[in-house]
């Protein structure tokens, strides 16, 4: 027995010598990043403390990707708060991956050398999201959808099976890439080995995939569809409400599954319906050329039904735009000013919504400024809204955590603008 143990110890020692270069490589890659994480977690900056207080988990990364890139942090705030408003989720951290090769972890180096291009990753084993600097809203949303899906799978494992059933042919064969093709698709130089027929976007959309990447596997299918729904609901207009062959029954069923699990808001389909109504009265001219009566009535009902919807700002801005164009058609000065005031009131409602998204909120500040300047000849108020617009972007660039909650309403009220 002693001889056997001696041989085992010798083998382990030999293996240690053989693996020494790889161990050194691992330490050389991991130690700087782990030390950086330890430093920031033990002595966090005020921005990192605020981030964790606001969202419930830390943001990791080098100074150049966090403290010196606060506009990106503002976008992360916006997306995280939007996602939490739809369905709460918990992750251990969000890490911003450095563009500097020497500041990457071994995993990140390996992924960059071997893997195809990526802008974000979700690691279910560590429950951690990695984002490349400047990955954008879609990437952040996509990775959060992955995290949410894994949480759902723990409580409702049948959810994945239900979704898979929507991606099979009449013989029960899956439309997703094979395991080998999945490896090929994510490995540099090998993506060409994936069946070319599975890269045809038109065909893939007919099969119920919103993108080519969605066909990779069921997890990417879920994240791609729900991410697109969250960020670009107008993409679903034809699939849900188009004429005849434009509608897609498989995508409709996937949307219903996603709504059932709160991966997308329950009012999503109704929001898309309203977007489709806007298209009917503005396409292809770009301005309101049809009768908006139906849209105005149905959008008012939507806003009453979903008073705290993340879509409220978008709906209100569309209504304000219609009212503004109606005012432009008035030739009588007195009537024209009255109608512009009505449009202004609708734009101001955008500023008072519960969720003040970083698209419709600042756009409405700009529209209000123009109306005061051009139509109502009120330079004082025009200047205030111009300053508010600039203050918004100043806060955005400073990583202000409260833009989606308060916007710059405090700034406006301090200058005498009543938004109550």
- Could you please report the per-residue DSSP string of 283-310? TTTSS--S--HHHHHHHHHHHHH-TT-T
pLDDT of residue 144: 98
pTM tops 0.85, yes or no:
yes
pLDDT at 18 (0 to 100): 38
Q: Quick: pLDDT tens for 403-413.
A: 999 999 999 99
Residue 134 above 80 pLDDT? no
Q: What is the pLDDT of residues 168-218, one digit of tens each?
A: 999 999 999 888 887 777 776 666 767 677 789 999 999 999 999 999 999
What residues have CB less than 8 Å from 94, skipping those under 6 apart? 57, 58, 59, 60, 76, 128, 129, 130, 131
Q: At 95, give phi and psi (nearest 5°).
A: -115, 130
Angle among Cα 403, 150, 222 to the nearest 5 degrees reads 80
Give the chain's mean pLDDT: 87
Which of helix, strand or coil describes residue 94?
A: strand
Mean pLDDT (whole number) for 41-66:
92
Share of the chain above pLDDT 90, in %: 67
Query: Which helix (DSSP H) or strand (DSSP E) does residue 311 occupy?
Result: none
Helix 218-231 vs helix 249-260: crossing angle, to nearest 10: 80
Neighbours of 57 (CB within 10 A): 18
pLDDT at 186: 74
> What Cα–Cα distance (Å) separates residue 42 from each residue in 24, 32, 49, 58, 378?
26, 15, 11, 12, 52
Half-sphere exposure of 365 (CA within 13 A, CB side): 24
With a cut of 50, say whether residue 13 has pLDDT above it: no
Q: SS3 for 43?
A: coil
Residue bearing tokens 């093709």: 181
| CA-based nearest residue to 61, from 102, 16, 95 | 95
């Amino acid at each position: 027995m002693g001889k056997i143990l001696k041989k085992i110890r010798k083998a382990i020692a030999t293996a240690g010598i053989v693996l020494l270069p790889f161990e050194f490589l691992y330490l050389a890659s991991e130690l700087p990043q782990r030390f950086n994480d330890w430093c920031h977690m033990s002595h966090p900056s005020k921005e990192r403390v605020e981030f964790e207080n606001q969202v419930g988990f830390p943001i990791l990364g080098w100074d150049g990707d966090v403290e010196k890139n606060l506009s990106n942090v503002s976008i992360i705030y916006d997306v995280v708060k939007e996602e939490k408003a739809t369905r709460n989720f918990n992750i251990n951290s969000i890490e911003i991956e450095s563009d500097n090769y020497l500041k990457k972890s071994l995993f990140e180096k390996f992924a960059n050398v071997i893997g195809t291009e990526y802008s974000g990753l979700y690691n279910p084993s560590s429950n951690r999201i990695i984002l490349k600097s400047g990955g954008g809203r879609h990437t952040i949303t996509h990775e959060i959808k992955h995290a949410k899906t894994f949480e759902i799978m723990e409580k409702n494992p049948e959810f994945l099976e239900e979704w898979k059933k929507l991606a099979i042919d009449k013989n029960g064969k899956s439309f997703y890439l094979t395991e080998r093709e999945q490896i090929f698709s994510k490995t540099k130089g090998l993506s060409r080995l994936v069946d070319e027929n599975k890269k045809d976007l038109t065909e893939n959309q007919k099969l119920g995939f919103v993108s080519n990447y969605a066909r990779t596997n069921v997890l990417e299918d879920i994240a791609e569809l729900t991410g697109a729904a969250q960020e670009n609901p107008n993409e679903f207009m034809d699939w849900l409400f188009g004429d005849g062959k434009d509608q897609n029954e498989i995508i409709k069923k996937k949307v219903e599954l996603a709504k059932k699990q709160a991966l997308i808001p329950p009012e999503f389909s109704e929001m898309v319906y309203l977007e489709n109504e806007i298209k009917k009265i503005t396409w292809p001219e770009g301005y309101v050329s049809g009768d908006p009566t139906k849209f105005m009535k149905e959008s008012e009902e939507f806003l009453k039904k979903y008073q705290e919807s993340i879509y409220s700002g978008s709906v209100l801005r569309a209504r304000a735009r219609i009212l503004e164009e109606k005012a432009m058609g008035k030739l009588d000065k007195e009537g024209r000013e009255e109608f512009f005031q009505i449009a202004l009131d609708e734009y101001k409602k955008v500023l008072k919504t519960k969720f003040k998204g970083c698209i419709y909120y600042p756009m409405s500040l700009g529209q209000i400024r123009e109306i005061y300047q051009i139509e109502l000849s009120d330079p004082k108020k025009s200047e205030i809204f111009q300053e508010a617009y600039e203050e918004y972007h100043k806060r955005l660039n400073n990583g202000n955590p409260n833009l989606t909650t308060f916007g710059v309403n405090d700034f406006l009220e301090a200058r005498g603008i009543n938004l109550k």
